[in-house]
Structure 1
Amino acid sequence: MRMGFAVPQSGPWATPDNMRRVAARAEELGYHELWTFQRLLYPVGHPMGPTYRSAHDPLVTLAYLAGATSSIRLGVAVLNAYVQPAVLGKQLATLQTVSGGRLTAGIGLGWVPEEFEATGTSFAGRGRRGEEFVEVLRKVWTDETVEHQGEFYRIPPSYLDPKPSPPPPVLLGGTAEVALRRAGRLADGWVSSSKEDLSAIGPRIRLVRAAAEEAGRDPDALRFVCRGVTRINEGGGPDRRLLQGTPEQIRSDVAALAGAGVTDVFHDLNFAPDIVSADPKEAMRRAEEALEALAPPA
């Protein structure tokens, strides 16, 4: 099991200094990866919750932290496919290069219609669009001459250099059966959402693995990344949510997730209401407590 930690990205505690402090301490403690997420805008009146009200751009955040760290990996879970993949492919290639090959690129279809409207992209056909999006990204990263004529995207014969070496792994998000099968067929792994029922994650992983096998791919080569909506508290009874409780309970939950097929867990305090609404100093105190208490074994 590889352990990760999400950097401060949402709300008052998400300051540059706090991002650097969390990143530096996570690297010192042996965490495998730092994680970010994307939210372009928050429609007025939408009930999506405080985490999404004010969120920094994930790629700019990771570029900043690439210069503040040296070995810990840098992940985004997830970027939504409502921008042009040639543009995003160039950005991700550059981030992979300046970070020394530490990037993990999570890609999602998107679920907020207003974000598609704001970026001039149709909300319809997101599944087909997402598959073509991944195809174009990989062409941008690997083909000497990039050319694409598809349903959604067009690239005339062009040089899109420099190439990232190696190309960043691509994880796909999604919860529907068709999304899970898509991850198994096309991606280097799957990443769960913040709303995932972690007690039922095993069947989802088995579905992704089965789709990979049906496509002639090695399911053992895939990563299965769990975003943990983690909260340290005094614990609870048998009905408590996984990754919410005492440090001992959370560590036990991580072991149970490994048994269900999860390869990576990252603790994301951005989705804890008592973090994003807290005084920034108190939020950081809790975050640093969690970093220490949940650190991977030496």
Structure 2
Amino acid sequence: MSLTFHWFLPTNGDSRHVVGGGHGSPATASGRDRPPTVAYLSQIARAAEDLGFTGALTPTGAWCEDAWLTTAMVSQNTERLKFLVAFRPGFVSPTLAAQMASTFQRQSGGRLLLNVVTGGESHEQRAYGDFLDKDDRYRRTDEFLHVVKELWQGRTVDLEGDHLRVADARLTRLPDPVPEVYFGGSSPIAGRVAAKHVDVYLTWGEPPAAVAEKIAWIRRLAAEEGRTVRFGIRLHVITRDTSAQAWAEAHRLLDGFDQETVRSVQAGLARSESEGQRRMLALHGGGSRDSLEIHPNLWAGIGLVRGGAGTALVGSHEEVAERIKEYHALGIDEFVLSGYPHLEEAYWFGEGVLPRLRTEGLWAHPFREEAGQGTPPQAPLAGVGR
């Protein structure tokens, strides 16, 4: 199977420094040099499309712009790129969500992927009027996905669940194709929901041994449901012509972290209810500069000031390609990547790493090669090397 790569739309702002936010931590004001305008986000999306990324993840939360509205506007400035829209069940009815997804598919030409985010922070959920505890939010997600997927198949749904009720629900127009569902979660109840419903299970960038354990866990649960699941991983990337250049960039980012901000963000993240966030915090061990490389070329420095995905692949293009192959050998087929700033880093990865994977038969440009156009032309960004 050819590897699939997705990029990221920084709807909380972008910079040459790390912009924080997520899992209850606010977006850090320092370094938000590029506001998340439709024009700038469209520039990133067009670059990702040209370079060969299949899709782009748009996050959700109080710390960023709304994912549905933003991607609806950005999609009009691209042609083939898909949008992995992060969406929290429970804020709208499952019937309306199914209808929204169906409309998005028609208006975008079938370019929606749905990233279901249950929500790991009760205080943020309450700000949106959701007062369920964490386990009940996952039980509601279970009911929500049951209704949505039945509606997408053209069935009429009646459900009187513990958290959701619908009667005689149906869609007059079905999505074509049916959007694939992406989902992440490290708690036991999250694993059971994933096994029952999702197409792609996402993990954050933990060391390979931990990722292998997660894959085995979800595969076992999915087999008990009579299903199979694909696997993806969410990582940042810092890739350069040489390893020294890449690590110099990582250290530059680290030098830009204000220590008071680090202490404040870490204190906030320590209160998170998310098992995945707890695992991210455990990786950097308090933030000593010498302890942040937790596996060859896997750096936990991003997690000092950012909630959610907190690790980055750092190294030469060859080294980053080798780490991708290492994760692929475990069963990871999809990579959801990002880097600061997102426009330039997309070119570093797209022109430095993807051609190496293509040469080894592990990746093909999803838009050009299917049309028989062969190797895509190089269009380097000014000031960015290959």
TM over 0.5: yes
CA contact (8 A) 1:8 1:18 kept: no
Match of 1:224 among 211, 225, 231: 231
5+ residue gaps, structure 1, are 42-52, 276-282
Q: Does 1:192 align with 2:203?
A: yes
SS at match of 2:126: helix
Separation in structure 2 between the aligned mates of residue 247 and residue 60 of structure 1, nearest angstrom: 35
Q: Give the equivalent residue in structure 2 for 1:257.
A: 327
Q: Give the equivalent residue in structure 2 for 1:50.
A: none
Separation in structure 1 between the aligned mates of residue 192 and residue 199 of structure 2, nearest angstrom: 12
Q: Does 1:83 align with 2:105?
A: no
Change (3 A) 1:162 1:133: same
Q: Give the equivalent residue in structure 1 for 2:75.
A: 66
Amino acid at match of 2:352: A
Change (3 A) 1:4 1:284: closer
CA contact (8 A) 1:181 1:207 kept: no
Q: 88-97 or 285-294: which moved more?
A: 285-294
Q: Does 1:35 align with 2:57?
A: yes
Q: Does 1:136 align with 2:143?
A: no
Alignment of 1:278-293 (within 5 A): 284-293=343-352
Q: Bigger radius of gyration, 1 or 2?
A: 2
Amino acid at match of 2:8: A
SS at match of 1:245: strand
5+ residue gaps, structure 2, are 14-31, 248-292, 299-311, 359-374, 376-386
Q: Give the equivalent residue in structure 1 for 2:307.
A: none
SS at match of 1:289: helix
Change (3 A) 1:257 1:239: closer
Separation in structure 2 between the aligned mates of residue 144 and residue 184 of structure 1, nearest angstrom: 22
Q: Give the equivalent residue in structure 2 for 1:280.
A: none
Alignment of 1:165-180 (within 5 A): 165-180=176-191
Over residues 188-238 of structure 1, what are the superposed CA-to-partner deviations in whole Å (9 max), with x where a residue is unaligned? 121124xx4143211111111111112112x2xx32121112233634576
Amino acid at match of 1:112: E
CA contact (8 A) 2:202 2:234 kept: yes
Amino acid at match of 2:315: G
Amino acid at match of 2:226: G
Change (3 A) 1:214 1:159: closer
Q: Does 1:244 align with 2:314?
A: yes
Change (3 A) 1:235 1:24: closer
Alignment of 1:199-218 (within 5 A): 199=208, 200-217=210-227
Over residues 168-194 of structure 1, what are the superposed CA-to-partner deviations in whole Å (9 max), with x where a residue is unaligned? 11122101233223312321121124x
TM-score by length of 1: 0.81
Q: CA deviation at 1:264?
A: 0.3
User: What is the aligned-residue identity percentage?
Assistant: 24
CA contact (8 A) 1:105 1:171 kept: yes
CA contact (8 A) 2:43 2:343 kept: no
SS at match of 2:185: coil
Separation in structure 2 between the aligned mates of residue 286 and residue 145 of structure 1, nearest angstrom: 46
Match of 2:354 among 282, 295, 298: 295
Amino acid at match of 1:58: A
CA contact (8 A) 1:82 1:110 kept: no
Change (3 A) 1:32 1:287: closer
Separation in structure 2 between the aligned mates of residue 286 and residue 27 of structure 1, nearest angstrom: 14
CA contact (8 A) 2:42 2:74 kept: yes
Root-mean-square deviation over aligned CA pairs? 2.3
Change (3 A) 1:285 1:158: closer
Change (3 A) 1:140 1:122: farther
Q: Give the equivalent residue in structure 2 for 1:182.
A: 193
SS at match of 1:110: coil
TM-score by length of 2: 0.63
Over residues 12-68 of structure 1, what are the superposed CA-to-partner deviations in whole Å (9 max), with x where a residue is unaligned? 4322222112211221222222221111x2xxxxxxxxxxx4x12112222123222
Separation in structure 2 between the aligned mates of residue 253 and residue 132 of structure 1, nearest angstrom: 37
Q: 160-169 or 249-258: which moved more?
A: 160-169
Q: Give the equivalent residue in structure 2 for 1:279.
A: none
Amino acid at match of 1:248: E
SS at match of 2:231: strand
CA contact (8 A) 1:82 1:119 kept: no
Change (3 A) 1:139 1:115: farther
